[in-house]
Amino acid sequence: MPVDVKVASDSPTQPDPAAPPPRKRRWGLRIVLIVAVVLIVLAGGGALAATLYARDIGNDIQRVQAFDQVPEAERPAKEQAAGDAMNFLVLGSDTRDPESTGGSRSDTIILMHLPADRSGAQLVSIPRDTWTHIPKSADGQHGNTTAKINAAYAWGGTPLMVRTVENFTGVRIDHVVMVDFAGFKDIVDALGGVEIDVETAFTSTHSLNKDSVRKFAAGPQTMDGATALDYARERYAFKDGDFARIRHQQQVIKAILNKAASGGTLSNPGKLNSFLRATADAVSVDETLNIFGMAGDLRHLRSDSLTFYTSPTTGTGTRGDQSVVLPDKAKAKQFFAAVKRDDVAQIKATGTVK
């Protein structure tokens, strides 16, 4: 479970809580928070932090112990060629989804790669039903078996998910961002809605509406928080199920980033503050992440700086009575090796862009 910690000030003396932070730092923190949301669902990366705006900057943020049960001996080494490149694991759970049983599974899994030159970010969605090896949990009661990848969170929390994703990709995780989709609705509403171009008309039967039904027309439209959440989590209405949901999540992430970075949001202190407060309530980060340091690294990111991929697969199949996603091991090995080396050209050449 996440625990609250205080954010340390960059200086030994505490700033006047009534005074606004310097312009440069305030902008950096805006970008950190915006990218944190984007890397949700993140989507996505900037998979990072949640702090409060302006005079509330010193308030508590949530931290999660992500690496305390991850044995160093089993972790992949960082490639020397990768330099200062960083890799974030973005995990999202939807406790409002009728499918959820206590919010124990991570329904969104994104590996975000931040290149050494900080020129952009590559976000790789790993389908939650990916069939892979899960290491043994720290308590010895679960794992050491092949299962759907999101079972790792149910069996061993964030540390076991880190171990599983590192084992699956061969990429070392530097930081973790957790997103609670229960707060996703408030984030979108704080922005005044987001613009989404719906590719095809469909009906969601797992909606937040009282009758659990919401109809989506094809074409561009403005979605409020409840509508965007229904759009981003629906999978039963589509033949390609979770792959369609991944596309829609990535679409909504881009829409959030575009709206959050727009002049109408950044120039309106009340709207910006509401957005950042909602983000802070929905996001927690690992105990090692320096949000102030990352602010500078992420200040240039915009939606056109982000490239979305899906982990290579051969499609779907069954294992026992379970419907699963089957990884394309050969293509995945080549693709994630490029991520590990920070070879952005090879990532683009070997990845499936979504």
What is the structure's pLDDT at 283? 76
pLDDT at 210 over 50: yes
What is the structure's pLDDT at 274? 76
pLDDT at 191 over 50: yes
Query: Would you place residue 34 in the very low, low, confident or very high pLDDT band (cuts 50, 70, 90)?
Result: very low
Residue 225 domain flag: no
Residues 64/158, Cβ–Cβ less than 8 Å? yes
Q: Tens digit of pLDDT for each residue in 105-148? A: 667 899 999 999 988 889 999 999 999 999 999 999 999 999 99
What is the structure's pLDDT at 95? 52
Residue 142 domain flag: yes
- DSSP-derived secondary structure for 242-309: HHHHHHHHHHHHHHHHHHHTSHHHHT-HHHHHHHHHHHHHHEEEETT--HHHHHHHHTT--GGGEEEE
What is the structure's pLDDT at 347? 94
Query: What sign has the CA pseudo-torsion 53, 57, 59, 62?
Result: positive
What is the structure's pLDDT at 296? 61
What is the structure's pLDDT at 5? 31
Q: Tens digit of pLDDT for each residue in 50-100? A: 333 433 433 446 788 999 999 999 999 999 999 999 999 988 875 544 444
What is the structure's pLDDT at 138? 93
Average pLDDT over residues 176-194: 83
3-state per-residue secondary structure call for 297-320: HHCCCCHHHEEEEECCEEEEEEEC
CATH number at 296 reads 3.30.420.590
CA–CA separation, 274 and 126 (whole Å): 31
Residue 201 domain flag: no
pLDDT at 270 over 80: no
What is the structure's pLDDT at 353? 63
pLDDT at 258 over 90: no
pLDDT higher at 94 or 21: 94
CA–CA separation, 324 and 132 (whole Å): 10
The alpha helices in 5-46, defined as continuous H runs, are: 23-38
Residue 111 domain flag: yes
What is the structure's pLDDT at 217? 97
pLDDT at 11 over 50: no
Mean pLDDT of the residues in the chain: 78
Residue 241 domain flag: no
pLDDT at 48 over 60: no
Residue 10 domain flag: yes
Average pLDDT over residues 299-308: 74
The whole-model pTM stands at 0.79
Domain span at residue 325 reads 3-190+270-353
Q: How many domains is the chain partitioned into structurally?
A: 1
What is the structure's pLDDT at 267? 65
What is the structure's pLDDT at 75? 97
What is the structure's pLDDT at 20? 42
What is the structure's pLDDT at 64? 86
Residues, the chain, total? Answer: 354
What is the structure's pLDDT at 291? 67
3 state SS of 88: strand
pLDDT at 179 over 90: no
Residue 226 domain flag: no
Residue 216 domain flag: no
Query: Would you place residue 256 in the very low, low, confident or very high pLDDT band (cuts 50, 70, 90)?
Result: confident
Query: Would you place residue 177 in the very low, low, confident or very high pLDDT band (cuts 50, 70, 90)?
Result: confident
